[in-house]
């Protein structure tokens, strides 16, 4: 199995990921140490607090936490799995789950007693593999909302009531497009819906760009596609066919990227790793941006700027939609300290640690109690997070959905990333996605 895993990892996740990473302090465990990796520096203090609680309840066991940035994290994790220096436990992302499960590098967690009812809806079920085994213990969750500059919105005559009541459709964009157009201002001070507006000389865009959105569009087009009734695959989880060739999806994409053609959304060239949607808002280049709950503290910290949030717009189905992404903690199959790792993961998913993490007001932990603690902590900071929690609590008016979970996830990303960039930035028609979809489904059929 080790040879198969090394070969598959090298091919599916790309050799480029492991270059320069042999230094992994990977940090296989020794003695009574449990090694744990995570990528979010903001969450590090919360998990250090959980580690102290765990160690008090498990004398003789120590937790060694390693934190690294998102890109380095997955690069080094890949390298460690190849080299046999993987951590005992790591923060897992559902976008990566399909590939990792297929490569058989995760330890089943069936014996931990994880119950669906103990967590926010859908979080526990999202970590069941095709084989029926559990490979992740629910950690936290996030949804997407519309961040907006209150001053710019007020100058446009738009308040919280208007922005929380928007709707959209792929024909004329509905009140959402009207609002984004009115928030857009050109170099002469003309708004996007006023005569003489110059779309080639825009000073403030109504909507920041988040790039092409790859194949998931989490903080770009996903809420529109879902509120139009579209689904990524033929099944909610472990689908066997992708649906990027669907007419509904392509009509959504044509309309959404068309906002940039009209001058209302920042162009593809404005987006980069150093100039993501939040940076465009912070610079005053954009009045609004779709972004995830993990960015709440970032937007709240913008100097001299008051940022608020609104729910995603209501779509043709009559519902609003948002991706609800649930992270988990996973144990590696070849963990050096597997008994300690399983105890640590069980503690991470338990109410005590979940409430501890919630109390830091950085993320929404997976249990309802942990979520309540987070809402209270944000409230103490003067931050209203209802735009993120309403979709979870109001299933009548909101649809939540997850990342597509299938086999060959890395291959899907490798194909969809350039395809979506070609449509957004290269001017290719949306029906060019038909060929990409055929290639993806051919891979899934193998």
Query: How far, CA to CA in Å, does 171 sit from each of 44, 217, 255, 353?
Result: 45, 20, 8, 47
Residue 10's pLDDT is 43
The CATH class of the 2-139+329-376 domain is: alpha beta
Q: How far apart are the first and last CA of the chain?
A: 20
**Which residues, 6 or more positions from 30, have their beta carbon under 8 angstroms from its beta carbon?**
336
Say what the pLDDT of residue 446 is: 83
**Domain assignments of the chain as residue spans, ordered by start:** 2-139+329-376, 144-323+408-445
Q: Which two three-digit tokens encode residue 414?
A: 């490798």
pLDDT at 89: 98
In DSSP terms, which residues pair with 226 in a beta bridge?
Answer: none
The pLDDT of residue 99? 87
- What predicted TM-score, i.e. pTM, was given to this entire model? 0.92
Helix extents (H) in 359-402: 368-380, 386-393
Q: What is the pLDDT along the chain (446 residues), one digit of tens a residue?
A: 333 333 344 444 443 333 333 333 444 444 699 999 999 999 999 999 999 999 999 999 999 999 999 989 999 999 999 999 999 999 999 989 988 988 899 999 999 999 999 999 999 999 999 999 999 999 999 999 999 999 999 999 999 999 999 999 999 999 999 999 999 999 999 999 999 999 999 999 999 999 999 999 999 999 999 999 999 999 988 999 999 999 999 999 999 999 999 999 999 999 999 999 999 999 999 999 999 999 999 999 999 999 999 999 999 999 999 999 999 999 999 999 999 999 999 999 999 999 999 999 999 999 999 999 999 999 999 999 999 999 999 999 999 999 999 999 889 999 999 999 999 999 999 999 999 999 999 999 98
> C-alpha distances in angstroms, 318 versus 148, 166, 313, 350?
23, 12, 10, 37
Cα dihedral 239, 245, 247, 248 sign: positive
List the alpha helices (DSSP H) in 84-164: 94-102, 150-155, 160-163
173 φψ region: left (φ > 0), alpha (ψ -120 to 50), beta (else):
left
Q: What would the two tokens of residue 360 be?
A: 């830091």
Report the C-alpha gap between 138 and 126 in whole angstroms: 9
Report the distance separating Cα 309 and Cα 379, nearest Å: 14
Residue in 323, 121, 324, 318 with CA at minimum distance from that of residue 227 = 318
Q: Which CATH superfamily is domain 144-323+408-445 in?
A: Periplasmic binding protein-like II (3.40.190.10)
């Amino acid at each position: 199995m080790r040879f198969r895993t090394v070969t598959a990892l090298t091919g599916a996740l790309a050799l480029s990921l492991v270059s320069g990473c042999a230094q992994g302090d990977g940090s296989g465990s020794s003695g009574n140490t449990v090694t744990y990796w995570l990528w979010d520096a903001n969450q590090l203090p919360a998990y250090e607090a959980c580690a102290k609680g765990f160690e008090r309840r498990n004398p003789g066991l120590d937790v060694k936490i390693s934190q690294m940035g998102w890109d380095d994290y997955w690069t080094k994790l890949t390298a460690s799995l190849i080299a046999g220096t993987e951590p005992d436990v790591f923060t897992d992302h559902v976008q990566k789950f399909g590939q990792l499960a297929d490569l058989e590098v995760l330890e089943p967690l069936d014996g931990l007693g994880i119950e669906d009812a103990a967590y926010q809806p859908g979080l526990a079920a999202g970590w069941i593999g095709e084989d029926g085994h559990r490979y992740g213990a629910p950690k936290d969750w996030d949804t997407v909302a519309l961040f907006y500059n209150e001053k710019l919105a007020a100058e446009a005559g738009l308040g919280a009531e208007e922005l929380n009541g928007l709707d959209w459709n792929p024909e004329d964009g509905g009140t959402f497009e009207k609002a984004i157009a009115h928030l857009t201002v050109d170099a002469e001070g003309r708004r996007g819906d006023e005569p003489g507006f110059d779309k080639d000389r825009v000073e403030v865009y109504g909507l920041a760009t988040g790039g092409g959105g790859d194949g998931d569009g989490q903080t770009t087009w996903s809420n529109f596609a879902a509120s139009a009734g579209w689904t990524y695959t033929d099944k909610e989880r472990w689908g066997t066919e992708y649906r990027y060739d669907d007419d509904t999806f392509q009509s959504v994409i044509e309309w959404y990227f068309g906002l940039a053609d009209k001058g209302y959304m920042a162009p593809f060239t404005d987006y980069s790793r150093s100039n993501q949607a939040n940076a465009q808002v912070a610079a005053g280049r954009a009045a609004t941006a779709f972004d995830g709950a993990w960015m709440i503290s970032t937007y709240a910290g913008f100097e001299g700027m008051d940022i608020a949030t609104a729910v995603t717009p209501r779509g043709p189905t009559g519902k609003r939609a948002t991706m609800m992404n649930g992270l988990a903690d996973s144990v590696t199959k070849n963990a050096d300290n597997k008994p300690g790792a399983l105890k640590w993961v069980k503690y991470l998913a338990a109410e005590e640690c979940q409430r501890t993490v919630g109390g830091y007001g950085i993320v929404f932990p997976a249990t309802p109690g942990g979520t309540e603690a987070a809402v209270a902590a944000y409230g103490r900071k003067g931050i209203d997070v209802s735009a993120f929690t309403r979709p979870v609590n109001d299933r009548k008016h909101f649809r939540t959905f997850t990342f597509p979970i299938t086999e060959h996830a890395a291959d899907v990303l490798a194909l969809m990333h350039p395809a979506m960039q070609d449509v957004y930035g290269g001017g290719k028609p949306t029906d060019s996605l038909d060929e990409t979809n055929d290639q993806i489904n051919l891979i899934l059929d193998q």
